[in-house]
Amino acid sequence: MKSSKGKGLLGLLAILLCIGLFGYFGYDTMDDIKLGLDLAGGVSITYQATKADPSAEEMSDTVYKLQQRVQGYSTEAEVYQEGGNRINIDIPGESDANSILTELGKPGSLVFMDEEGNTILTGDQVKSAKAGIMDKNGIRENVVSLTLTDEGSQRFAEATQANIGKLIYIIYDNAIKSAPRVNSAITGGECYIEGMRDYEEAENLAATIRIGSLSLELKELRSNVVGAKLGQEAIATSLQAAAIGFLIVVLFMIAVYRIPGVASALALCLYVGLELILLSAFEVTLTLPGIAGIILSIGMAVDANVIIFTRIKEEIGVGKTVKSAVKTGFSKALSAIIDGNVTTLIAAVVLFWRGSGTVKGFASTLAIGIILSMFTALFVTKGALYALYAAGFQDAKFYGVRKDVKVRDFLGKRKAFFSLSIAAIAIGWVFMGIGASSGKGALNYGMDFKGGTSTNVTFNEDMSLEDISTKVVPVVETITGDPEVQTQKVAGTTEVIIKTKTLDVNQRQALNEAMVEQFGVDADKITAESISGAVSNEMKQDALVAVVISTICMLIYIWFRFKDIRFAASAVLALVHDVLVVLTCYAVAKWSVGSTFIACMLTIVGYSINATIVIFDRIRENLQTKTHKEDLAALVNRSISETFTRSINTSVTTFIMVLVLFILGVSSIREFALPLMAGIIFGGYSSICVTGALWYVLTMKKKEVKAE
């Protein structure tokens, strides 16, 4: 006994040592975590097309290509159109605009010419350019591989056929960058440029060709240092809110689950330290949507522990010893934890692969969090629990006992639940229809989606980013009612660019007067212009495609794991339900649909699918032991009732985290937290009241068809 107790104490000491070690390194690396434009500012570069009147298609194509290009600096970099012929690039976490301009170069002006000066190709006819290494007769050569468009392929085939043995000049910004010799006619739209001294030269040439392959030639108009939407004080407040929320969750777990709650608290503390270390190690750019991914993964980490502890209580309730109950509890909870996490991880991988901008950042933090949550729940919590048991906490009273579960008739109320859900969704469509018909828009689209007003103010003194954030932004928020004000400080001047939602004449006048009265600004030095939405059509389309693909992948996985398409179909229908109900909240409450909207919706989907999997896992388990006396409706009611406590406790803990952020956070944090709270509530509701009922209805329909 003494030996066992000693091992238990040593185990606890080892876990505490790991928490302290990783906690220290996690805290130490916090300053190394890249913060996005909305958290820490960055660099903003504005280009203008040299073409007098570029078409919408040319502008859209150039925006999309630049978006793909600048993600090399940050996955959260954004490119959007400003006015009719300008393109703005926002790169978070950067502060040296000149070095970025040097590396990015001058977009456009790329041509391929023959020795007589005839243009063979233009930059927009090059689809891609990549540096690589090719094995040629046992000798490794650095090359640049080119892929051309259909039009470029045809022109290049004709030109190379006519210029065999001659040089083709690659000219960028009126300077010859390379002059490869044509050895044979090149057909098929793919070719290699050889003769590079080293890989760096190949990479530089490939980058030059990529930059020059835009639809339009651009010239630099201005470069700015961008002020964060959230100042340092706001970031500190948000961190404080997160710490308070985390502490409340830990205390809640200990109060409800006793010794297992202590084990989960230890695991969650280690989780936080590891999360910070990995965010820094993988150089993930953290933004508000990224924080959404972290909140979701913390919720899933808590959820995994709740599933395990509920199982342990059940096993103790049927008469097993504590040690046996712990072992069986982990074993029985394993399938639900793996299925829930893998399903959400599939979505995160697809979102990272197909998404762009903020969607990619959300996917990055979510994927890291999911993997960590599975590790801490299945290994750290388990180790801590066994160590606590060995240390002397062996009485069942320390773990709780769950005997008889009160079975509630959820299916008996399914018609009422379905009617309530349909009515909630219908209300949303009605409000969106009213908004669209009145000319105000179906939803309250923020500047990121529909554009807004850019106001240039020249102050009498050079204001710091912190002064702008704490003094100017609150004034602008009060006048415009916009919680997502963005500011940019033009380097080397006292000029500040203030971006808000679209302002009418009265609001513009009020803003100008406030700048004059409160900051002594010369009214003649205030100008305003309209700007287009930062979330480009391509980015929205990428997000939509990513969601569709991930949903299909989740459906296939659930179908494969549960061996029943009705489980998969019910889960997807529940996801659609949750998204549409939260959309109703956006429509009725006129919440701003901005850059965090997509991340909020994705968080809700990830949270909902995890809760649904837990209930379906219990239904699947109970089907294996179903007796002839118990009908299907009773089995589904029993399964939902058995997981009811888990569903409530998980919703409560995740809700607490977001609620504290909402209470203590600044306006933009509140705009972000409010939809998440709604999603948690409706996700919990649909898991308990809708998903099981949907599966039951689909199953009974199939039986009726067979009977007929």
Domain boundary among the residues 106, 135, 150 is at 106
Mean pLDDT, range 249-266, rounded to an integer: 91
Domain boundary among the residues 473, 496, 531 is at 531
Helices (H) and strands (E) in the chain, counts: 24, 19
202, part of any domain: yes
Q: Do both 251 and 358 map to the same domain? A: yes
Q: Do both 126 and 169 map to the same domain? A: yes
- 220 pLDDT more than 90: no
Q: Do both 271 and 314 map to the same domain? A: yes
Tell me the C-alpha distance between 679 and 578, whole Å.
Answer: 7
322, part of any domain: yes
Tell me the C-alpha distance between 446 and 388, whole Å.
Answer: 51
pLDDT band at 9 (very low <50, low <70, confident <90, very high): confident
CA dihedral 124, 128, 130, 136 (to 10 degrees): -100
Q: For residue 401, what are the CA distances in angstroms to 249, 317, 624?
A: 21, 5, 24
Mean pLDDT, range 582-606, rounded to an integer: 83
Encoded tokens for 340: 């829930």
Q: 3-class DSSP state for residue 89?
A: strand
406, part of any domain: no
Q: Do both 382 and 265 map to the same domain? A: yes
Q: Do both 584 and 622 map to the same domain? A: yes
Residue 568 · residue 327 · CB < 8 Å: no
Q: Do both 556 and 689 map to the same domain? A: yes
507, part of any domain: yes
Residue 463's domain comprises: 452-531
% of the chain beyond a pLDDT of 90: 19
The answer to whether the pTM exceeds 0.75 is no
Give the chain's radius of gyration (CA, Å). 29
Average per-residue pLDDT for the chain: 83
- 2 pLDDT more than 60: no
Task: Give the chain's domain count.
Answer: 5
Tell me the C-alpha distance between 92 and 37, whole Å.
Answer: 4
% of the chain beyond a pLDDT of 70: 89
Q: Do both 421 and 484 map to the same domain? A: no
Mean pLDDT, range 461-473, rounded to an integer: 84
446, part of any domain: no
- 484 pLDDT more than 80: no
624, part of any domain: yes
Q: Do both 245 and 341 map to the same domain? A: yes
Residue 82 sits in a domain of what CATH number?
A: 3.30.70.3400
Which 8-state DSSP code applies to residue 691?
Answer: I
Q: Do both 371 and 258 map to the same domain? A: yes
pLDDT band at 239 (very low <50, low <70, confident <90, very high): confident
480, part of any domain: yes
Encoded tokens for 679: 């999603």
Reported as a single tens digit per residue, the pLDDT across 533-563 is: 655 565 667 777 877 888 888 889 989 988 8
Q: Do both 27 and 63 map to the same domain? A: no
Q: For residue 220, what are the CA distances in angstroms to 55, 174, 401?
A: 19, 17, 69
Q: What is the largest CA-CA distance in the chain?
A: 93
- 229 pLDDT more than 60: no
Which 8-state DSSP code applies to residue 395?
Answer: S
Q: What share of the chain is helix, strand, coil (3-state, %, to 5)?
A: 65, 15, 20
Domain boundary among the residues 56, 76, 106 is at 106
Residue 345 sits in a domain of what CATH number?
A: 1.20.1640.10
Residue 207 sits in a domain of what CATH number?
A: 3.30.1360.200
Report the side by side order of strands in the sheet with 175-178.
119-122, 110-113, 169-172, 175-178
Per the model's pLDDT, the better-predicted residue between 528 and 79 turns out to be 79
Q: Do both 16 and 71 map to the same domain? A: no
Sign of the alpha-carbon torsion through 343, 346, 348, 351: negative
Q: Do both 261 and 345 map to the same domain? A: yes
Q: Which of 548, 537, 357, 529 is nearest to 449 (CA)?
A: 537
Reported as a single tens digit per residue, the pLDDT across 80-125 is: 776 678 888 888 767 666 667 666 655 656 888 988 888 888 877 8
